[in-house]
Amino acid sequence: MAATPAHRHLPALLIFLLFLPTTLIAKPSGAVGWVEKILLEPDAIPVKAKLDTGARTSSLQADKIETFVRDEQKWVRFRVELKDANGKKHRMNLERPRIRGVRIKEHEGEYDRRPVVEMAFCLGGERHVTQFTLVDRSRFIYPVLLGRRFLEDFAPVDAGRTFTREARCPAPPPENSTGAP
């Protein structure tokens, strides 16, 4: 079978594409940076969050963590005390239903048990709700870590970029006496 004119150019095209510099190939427009500013609800506190594909579950800076029972269901009472993205201190005393507990292996080889709650936050003009472990992150740079459970349904992470999205909410969240999302 004789080669058609289009088939004669195919090897040259393939060689060209093989050596095309990767800088000319567009990065996915939906990618987010490895650090983004979010608005943590219910008070819409602007905080820097690390987007960590190495962590399965998201994590939130919390202290004074106390489990209690309400209506035959386990709940968690905790305090979120952090500096916002502008350096201003904020404090929220919150209560949330306990979704589950996790056992996290620490760097020293020991295990730590943490409660998991759902929290709402805004990123890129969208309101999101995801599960967070509650832990003292005061020794870390970022008070919020967004893990794979959230990221897999959100966007790919570009490790070479930061602050690609605006920290804004679509509309104020409905008020709730418990502060639950």
pLDDT at 24: 38
- Distances in Å between the Cα of 9 and the Cα atoms of 12, 49, 170, 177 are 5, 49, 51, 69
CA–CA separation, 160 and 122 (whole Å): 22
pLDDT in tens, the chain (181 residues): 555 565 565 555 455 544 544 333 333 458 999 999 999 999 999 999 999 999 999 999 999 999 999 999 999 999 999 888 888 999 999 999 999 998 877 777 788 889 999 999 999 899 999 999 999 888 889 999 999 999 998 889 999 999 999 888 886 656 664 555 5
pLDDT at 138: 85
Domains of the chain in sequence order: 34-158 (2.40.70.10)
Residues forming a β-bridge with 125? none
- For 3, other C-beta atoms within 10 Å of its C-beta total 9
CA–CA separation, 115 and 108 (whole Å): 20
pLDDT at 175: 66
pTM: 0.74
CA–CA separation, 78 and 57 (whole Å): 18
